[in-house]
Structure 1
Amino acid sequence: MSLLGLTDPVPVSFGDAEEAVDEDSHSGAERTGRVYVSPALDGWTLAIGRWCDPCDIERSDDVLQMCEALSARYGRAQAYYYGAQGDGSAWLIAEQGTVVRRYCETGDGEDHYLTLGAPLPYERSCREALGLTTTWDAATESEEDEDEWAMETMHMAPEIAAELGISPLSLTADIPFSGTGLLARTPRSRS
């Protein structure tokens, strides 16, 4: 929490945190004020909230630096965006202080500017399953293939999270955990 600059932590259940973070996410750009920091879940700690969005135009550089710093300290860090109502997906994967991959598909024509790094093995296997080339360049890909890939990636963030660690959408009571979840204020919310 200190590495992220989070303050004023309050113990809270996952359900209450989900409600608070959802409220913040849907109440306008000025409300990125709270992040839920989970207890350790099968070796992972989740930080959940709009403030952690790797494809937010105002925060993408900060989130990238945040993941680099976290991965330098803990080995790996990941940031995800998932719009459960067809709003798209994004993922940022960092290891040992370096970003390995960032990809964003929200339907915004500027999404490709956020792409960094080589496609993940999971991305390649999904493309292969679709009959698309596993190595590609968006500049030379056919419009039909580009559209098919965009539709596939609109929902891919939770799948990648589960493949590389843990997805908040697949949490069950059987997942081993230790500690207490906390809802904390972001540096931006204090200004």
Structure 2
Amino acid sequence: MYETSPDAATPFTPQGDWYAVQTTDQAAVLDAFGLDHPRRVALNDALRPWDIAYSDELLDASGVLVTPALDGWTLVFGYPDTENFHADRQRWCTALSRSFGATHWYSLVENGGCGDSDGWCLAERGALRRYVCRGGYGADVLVGGAHPAETGLLLDDVGDWLTANGFPDDLWTNYQYEGYRAGLPVETRWQRLQQHTGIPDLADSLTIAARTSLSPARLSAATRVSGHAVLATPPRTLVPD
């Protein structure tokens, strides 16, 4: 049973990729992404396959999730990638932004190893503004100049920043190790490093999402919700444009 509406917005940390489309027209989003056979689902239950809190449960997404409008944005989770994913993400966001005004892609993968990655693609009014994809098993890809949403945030490697500012490049590693031994959460370890060094906040996909559309981690009872969530069947040919 839900204490509020099944489509009430509650915060979560995504695991994987998602798109944010600046529209409240869910039917238009379904059409633009080539999605078929939408069926209504409870938003919070349907989000679990993309919620890092449930990442150990190996939940089956069983489709592409399209959210209700959230503060004027419709989010799409589970849209499959292509082999040429860097170029296609940029092309898709750019093409869709001609119709919707803005379309963004974000990614956050945290598996505790070298496969950790994050990224964002920001397209507005038919123009690609920025593409960043870092980590994972490939080389980092950065396209376009710094977006205003990145102002004041650290995009470079933490060790490189520490070295450039007169600190040992492994200082953060030491804070991580000592903080872990002391049972401190990562947020507290990072705050202590910032107090010591003055290092800026990190540019990460959730922060960029909060500054350019909305962050799933900051959903709340104050988030305006319009409509309902649906799960839909992805197209056989992935060509949203």
Deviation at 1:19, TM superposition (A): 2.6
Q: Which residue of 2 aligns with 1:6?
A: 35
Cα-to-partner distance string for 1:11-53 (whole Å, 9 max, x where unaligned)? 11122221345699x97xxx986221111111111112252x6
Segments of structure 1 that go 5 or more residues without pairing to the other structure are 132-140
Deviation at 1:124, TM superposition (A): 3.5
Structure exhibiting the larger radius of gyration computed from Cα positions: 2
Q: Which amino acid aligns with 1:116?
A: V
- CA separation of 1:21/1:10 partners in 2, compared to 1, >3 Å: closer, same or farther? farther
Cα-to-partner distance string for 1:67-115 (whole Å, 9 max, x where unaligned)? 1122100111100001144512100000011110000112434223xx2
- CA separation of 1:143/1:117 partners in 2, compared to 1, >3 Å: closer, same or farther? farther
Which of 159, 164, 178 is matched with 2:212 structurally? 164
Cα distance in 2, alignment partners of residues 66 and 33 from structure 1? 23
Q: Which residue of 1 aligns with 2:96?
A: 70
Q: Which residue of 2 aligns with 1:127?
A: 154
**After superposition, where does 1:1-191 map in structure 2 within 5 Å?**
1-21=30-50, 34-49=63-78, 51=80, 58-85=84-111, 87-112=116-141, 115-127=142-154, 152-153=202-203, 156-188=204-236
TM-score by length of 2: 0.58
Cα distance in 1, alignment partners of residues 62 and 140 from structure 2? 24
Contact map agreement 2:79 2:234 (CA 8 A) in 1: no
Segments of structure 2 that go 5 or more residues without pairing to the other structure are 1-29, 173-198
Contact map agreement 1:21 1:50 (CA 8 A) in 2: no
Contact map agreement 1:68 1:94 (CA 8 A) in 2: yes
Q: Which residue of 2 aligns with 1:135?
A: none
Contact map agreement 2:97 2:103 (CA 8 A) in 1: yes
More moved, 15-24 vs 162-171: 15-24
Q: Which amino acid aligns with 2:145?
A: A
- CA separation of 1:125/1:14 partners in 2, compared to 1, >3 Å: closer, same or farther? same
Q: Secondary structure at the match of 1:127?
A: coil
- CA separation of 1:105/1:47 partners in 2, compared to 1, >3 Å: closer, same or farther? same
Identity of aligned residues (%): 32
Cα distance in 2, alignment partners of residues 14 and 122 from structure 1? 28
Q: Which amino acid aligns with 1:72?
A: R
